[in-house]
């Protein structure tokens, strides 16, 4: 998994995330910060060392449920970290 220094320092276990979820969120936040748009599921899969895009989808859904991010359904690259 990619780890970007200085991004997402406030994300902790205290907020109810597993270490993998917290790192996923940090990587996502870093990509958005650097590029101005969210990565594709394929890019998120590669950046986080995952084996399938369904794992990415599961992480996105869980993080949305917990209020860490939002996105527009049926639209590409619309993920926003809160």
- Give the per-residue pLDDT at 9: 52
Any bridge partners for residue 70, and if so which? 80
- Give the per-residue pLDDT at 15: 72
**What digits encode the pLDDT tens for the residues 50-60?**
999 999 999 99
- Give the per-residue pLDDT at 46: 97
- Give the per-residue pLDDT at 4: 44
Dihedral-angle region of residue 2 (phi above 0 means left; psi in -120 to 50 means alpha; beta otherwise): beta
- Give the per-residue pLDDT at 10: 54
- Burial label for 77, CB within 10 Å (0-12, 13-18, 19+), is middle
Residue 69 Cα distances to 51, 65, angstroms: 22, 8
Q: How many CB atoms lie within 10 A of CB 58?
A: 12
- Give the per-residue pLDDT at 70: 94
> pLDDT under 50 in the chain at which residues?
1, 3-7, 12-14
Nearest to 60 by CA among 15, 23, 25: 25
Q: Catalogue all structural domains in the chain, each as residue range(s) with its CATH number.
A: 16-81 (1.10.10.10)
């Amino acid at each position: 998994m990619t780890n970007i220094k200085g991004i997402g320092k406030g994300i902790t276990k205290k907020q109810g995330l597993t270490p993998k979820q917290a790192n996923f969120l940090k990587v996502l936040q870093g990509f958005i910060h650097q590029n101005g748009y969210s990565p594709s599921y394929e890019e998120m899969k590669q950046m986080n060392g995952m084996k399938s895009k369904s794992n990415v989808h599961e992480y996105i859904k869980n993080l949305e449920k917990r209020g860490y991010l939002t996105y527009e359904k049926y639209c590409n690259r619309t993920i926003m970290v809160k």
